[in-house]
Structure 1
Amino acid sequence: MLWNIWRPLLIILGIVFTCDLISLFVDLNANKEEEEFVIRSFSMCSFVLSLLLSVRVNIAYNRWWTLRSGYGSAVYGVADLVRRATSCVPDMSQVLELQRWGAVWANCIYAFIGWQPALPPAIDQLLAPEEAQALRAAAKQRHYALQRLRMLVLQASSSLSTSQAVTLDDAMTKAQAGAGACGAIRCTATPLVLRYTCTGLILLWLAIVALIRIGYPNWLSLPMTLLLGLCMLCVDELASQMENAPHLVSLEALLVDAMEDAANSVAEAEQHRAAVWGWRTKGGLSGPEAYQGAAAVARAGSGAVQLGPPGLCNGDENC
């Protein structure tokens, strides 16, 4: 993937080859004082170059890691919100709405970070035509989707206890914080001065290495120069690619995996609630005894929290 290094590398090797040819026919040996001056100057230049290169690589890595962790927190935060809602929100229709608008918000973030010219086609599958039109008409689609998701969280929390409402709000806050962190990557960039200065100094530094060898022809140094140039240019190219963080992060794979987790949580919750309701009515059983037995079976089968039919655990923290 380091496709931008072969041209400068060939230039450096050409300089080395030319210097060795010149040294065969022209006596360019410098005196001791000139050699000492050149060596000291070159050492100072090497220190500055290593410092600039370290700063650039550090900035580029921070950009990549911020985007990776922030986007992961956002999309998996939506999945966590849906998972928590399945365990405490009694109305399953509200859980499905949270899942739907959570997926819409995650797709809006994906389009924003990935510099997509339009919203993903998945938006049309998730929303009604009127909702999709209102979303596209918004100035910032991700903020519109976030507002709708926040309203759904508030509506779902109105029928819950304080601790359950705090649980949902905590998941929503973490997802929103991750989206803000990775969204800031698009609005900031590595200073162009640092990028061009670092790349230019690397090329000059490698050229100076070749020019210093004038007067001391040694064809065996060609492989060493190749290795040195390859290492320096690879590090610089690595920093250049990491500055474009969205192309190095599997945004679509993270989005698909997180939405699958949310869908699986909803499907499992529906199965558990159906199982609990079936145990409650099977064999003429009724009352809390049947529900407790069904809930125990559901917990033992999947390790999930206790789930019940709509309205059964409304307002009860221990249910």
Structure 2
Amino acid sequence: MSAALFFEQLLNGLQFGVMLFLMAAGLTLVFGVMGLINLAHGSLYMVGAFACASVVAATGSFTLGLLASFVAAAFAGVIVEGLVLRRLYRRDHLDQVIVTFALILVFTEGTRWLFGSYPLYLDIPPALQGTVHLPGGIDYPLFRLMIILVGLLVAALLFLAVNRTRLGIRIRAGEADREMIAALGVDISRLYMIVFALGAALAGFAGALVGSVQSVQVGMGEPVLILGFVVIVIGGIGSIGGALVAAILVGITDTMGRVFLPMVFAGFTDPASANATGSALASMLIYILMALVLVFRPSGLFGEKA
């Protein structure tokens, strides 16, 4: 194993982790502030990806596509929150799970009806194609490096917004005691709508970026949603910093495991068995990590102890 391969996979893990953070940030805000389990969050991720693909196909502008993903997912979030989820805040979590699971089916079949079942592909803008020569002899794709930088920038802006602005004060107060801030005159319904729209917009933006690297297809949000829940469990519910750290941990653990575990088993068995065994164990690593965190720190790495 060369040092160049190790650092290249480290960057791949960081890029994957940043994408998970954009997905999980909305989940942790919504659950931390609103107490809502939203299984349809992955569908908003898919909405952003399809919005980006559609706008890029129509205009040829990737910038407009990214803007469309942000706006479309936020708009879909506002509609869903106002028409459906607002009726679930005082219901138990089982009702929330059932209704948001039904929303997954609605979004899935609606997207298939509008766009068909075949995947769509986004072309990386010419300005972001090619590679960047990094120290250590690594030639890394420029677009993936851009995703890392943009994701970290969004994380910093979100952290500042939650911790340094008036809206952030209300969000944190709503997480701590929603009845009290409602009694102080804060429009709690409006606050919930803003939080949900922000989380939806971040998920849609993540979907657009991932769609540029992989493909845009129906049902693409559900696997990422599962990892998003793993991230907020590890990081701690309601913690933006915890979501970022946990997302990077999960991204690096998953990427490194899938690349290097088959190499470890290659010395003990044939290549086909080594790949199968290594891939199987790699897919378990993040859940083992989550289990260890739950055993030693049930509130998460950055969550407040009960």
Q: TM-score range by the shorter chain?
A: under 0.3
Q: What TM-score, normalized by structure 2, do the two folds share?
A: 0.27
| Rg (Cα) greater in structure | 1
